[in-house]
Structure 1
């Protein structure tokens, strides 16, 4: 139970070409590659305990199970921070399901708590504004998308270093909205701002640079 195995060899059986023989070896807690992988997953997923499980479910696309977990966590949430985080995750989940109206409602519940409990320039506020902007963009409600992307951008310009990748994301998102609105000169202005930051902050072979070009 809960054991992790390393695949040593996979080969087709001689008698039946529809069957494969897999040779496994069990790992232990001191396995350096397993430790590296585990630490990497923890860094990417973040959170602790059941919150980490929810993040992992979202990452692998198990959205229905993740929703059940987050709804249960919401019932037992004891702090505003936990409730804001759970609403935010449910908003992301609904966005992934293309249930955009529900996504906005959950994000707004998270935002309501964040506005009461966090400084006005907190990064969490910027992230929530950014995600709401993304949902409105998916709904083709470009003026609303721009409104929330701009709120996110203003916080990031105040709270982050001028060459932070999150600022590049804000500029790129705003550029995308202007492009969708047919305002191409404005779109280009923000694309160039985004690209300038990425050229400074990322290695030359980073895939995000290829996307920005």
Structure 2
């Protein structure tokens, strides 16, 4: 273990040698604060025992650019009005769905106003979505929508996110007409906001709705409309500052559309663009990576390049087993694909 004094002198992660206070001083124990972060330099087998491995670590500090990027990303993903709300989001992110639901149930009992209730209903829906329990998720989203519609004007921009989320759940359930209905509601409000100059003409949120609509049209086999909506989304995302992961989703949706149209070369180009962003921005075991690995597997199968798929399906299954409930539709699909190979 390497501890660079120049890094620890400015660090907010202090440590202490406690060998003099330990019952076993020969162990030369070091006590670190809980949020200490180390970089793995090398892992090698020990010469004396092949079953033991030696891990070489070096401590990081606040100036580490990769650590800073990761920390900022985690903060973005677990925002909330209070520490308890942020804890709930973090539980969802790490897959502790039961604990997250218990926490949100308690928060719901003590909710002080309608806006807090809306937020909690939405998070409870997210827990169900992450489990693949889409029908139950719609109940929480509909409850959230009812409260939202009572406290907001009919064309309030806040409703667009809610309509979009409900549309995504109905799309996952295969209820495409309902999905399009909610996407249209979202798009209508956003277009009104643009016409009233409340939103710029090329706003990232418009791109999300266009891409979602495009994916539904792909699912029902209307590829021309699918491509048109995805290109609308991409025209916005590639010309304004937006979340790169949203752009990655559009690339992936375009890849799926071109794959189903048997334009495999174009499909691969978009998959690779989406994969590059997701691998740069997401943890190696993030479920969204499993989705694109599985999609690329289907592409290589279509082109009869059978040497490539095993790597992708193994990665998809491993991520799914670690991050998804055993009954989640995505994990079930990954396993079925693996068995076919």
Q: Does 1:16 align with 2:52?
A: no
Deviation at 1:183, TM superposition (A): 2.6
Q: Alignment partner for residue 187 of structure 2, among 153, 160, 178?
A: 153
SS of equivalent residue, structure 2 residue 153: coil
Residue in 2 aligned with 1:63?
A: 97
Partner of 2:231: 192
Seen in structure 2, the aligned counterparts of structure 1 residues 42 and 123 have a Cα distance that, compared at 3 Å, is: farther
Cα 1:181–1:78 change in 2 (3 A) is same
2:214 equivalent to 1:183 = no
What are the ranges of 5 or more consecutive residues in structure 1 without an aligned counterpart? none
- TM-score, normalized by length of structure 2? 0.55
For residues 13-47 of structure 1, what are the alpha-carbon distances to aligned partners after superposition, in whole Å with 9 as ceiling and x for unaligned? 443333334566778xx844477754442233211
Rg: which structure is higher?
Answer: 2
Pairwise CA distance, 1:66: 1.1
Q: What's 2:277 paired with?
A: none
Select 1:140's aligned residue among 174, 190, 193: 174
Out of 95, 112, 116, the position equivalent to 2:150 is: 116
- Alignment check: 8 A CA contact 2:211 2:250 kept: no
Q: Does the CA contact (< 8 Å) of 2:78 and 2:86 recur in 1?
A: yes
Bigger RCO (CA 8 Å, 6+ sep):
1
Aligned length: 210
- 2:34 is equivalent to residue 3 of structure 1: yes
Range with bigger deviation, 14-23 or 98-107: 14-23
1:209 CA displacement: 6.2
Contact 1:3 1:26 in 2 (8 A): no
Q: Closer, same or farther in 2 for the Cα pair 1:138/1:79, shift >3 Å?
A: same
What SS does structure 1 have at the residue aligned with 2:112?
coil
Q: What is the distance in 1 between the residues matched to 2:241 and 2:58?
A: 39
2:121–2:144 contact (8 Å) kept in structure 1: yes
Q: Which residue of 2 aligns with 1:99?
A: 133
Check whether the contact 2:230–2:250 (CA below 8 A) recurs between aligned residues.
no
* 1:72–1:15 distance in 2 versus 1, CA, 3 Å: farther
Partner SS, residue 141 of structure 2: helix
Q: Is the 8 A contact 1:7 1:23 kept in 2?
A: no
Instruction: Compute the TM-score of the two structures, normalised by the length of structure 1.
Output: 0.84
Cα displacement (A) at 1:149: 0.9
CA RMSD of the aligned region, Å? 2.7
Q: Deviations over 1:69-115 (max 9, x none)?
A: 11111111111111100001111211121211110000011111111
Question: Structure 2: any 5+ residue segments left out of the alignment?
Answer: 1-31, 194-198, 255-269, 271-341
Cα gap change, 1:179 to 1:41, in 2 (>3 Å): closer
Distance 2:163 2:90 in 1: 23
By how many angstroms is 1:118 displaced? 2.2
